[in-house]
Amino acid sequence: MEQHIRGVFSNQEVQKVGTGTTSRKSIHKVFWHCVELTEGENTGKVEVQPLNNNYIPSGPKRIVERENFLSDFSPEPEFYVSTVFPRMRELNKVVARGERHRSNQEYFSAEMEFNNALKVDEENVRANFGLGLTYLERNEPDKAQNIFNRLVKLEAAFEQEHKHLFNEFGIQLRKNKMFTEALDYYKRALELSDQDENLYHNIARAALENDNPELAADYLLKGLNLNPTMDESVRFLMWMLSKNLLSDEKRSVAVQVLKKARDAHTTTQAAATPTAPPVTEAPVEAPTEETLPESP
- For 10-44, b/e burial (b = at least 16 CB within 10 A) is bbeeeeeeeeeeeeeeeeeeebbbbebbeeeeeee
**Domain-ending residue, one of 75, 91, 126:** 75
Secondary structure (DSSP) of 212-281: -HHHHHHHHHHHHHH-TT-HHHHHHHHHHHHTT-S-HHHHHHHHHHHHHHHHHHHHHHHHH-TTSPPPP-
Q: What is the DSSP letter of 55?
A: S
Residue 94 and residue 26: Cα distance in Å, rounded?
37
**For residue 136, what pLDDT is reported?**
94
**For residue 107, what pLDDT is reported?**
97
**For residue 40, what pLDDT is reported?**
87
**For residue 1, what pLDDT is reported?**
47
Residue 179 and residue 211: Cα distance in Å, rounded?
10
- For 269-289, b/e burial (b = at least 16 CB within 10 A) is eeeeeeeeeeeeeeebebeee
Ranges in the chain, pLDDT < 70: 1-2, 17-18, 20-23, 268-296
Let me know whether 240 and 266 are in one domain.
yes
- How many domains does the chain fold into? 3
Let me know whether 99 and 184 are in one domain.
yes
**For residue 37, what pLDDT is reported?**
95
**Domain-ending residue, one of 75, 92, 114:** 75
Among 228, 175, 229, which residue's Cα sits nearest to residue 202? 175
Let me know whether 209 and 284 are in one domain.
yes
**For residue 14, what pLDDT is reported?**
75
Among 134, 140, 144, 34, which residue's Cα sits nearest to residue 80? 34
Let me know whether 47 and 88 are in one domain.
no
Where helices occur in 74-123 by DSSP H, the ranges are 77-79, 85-103, 107-120
Contact 133, 103 (CB under 8 A): no
User: What domain range includes position 5?
Assistant: 1-75
Let me know whether 120 and 23 are in one domain.
no
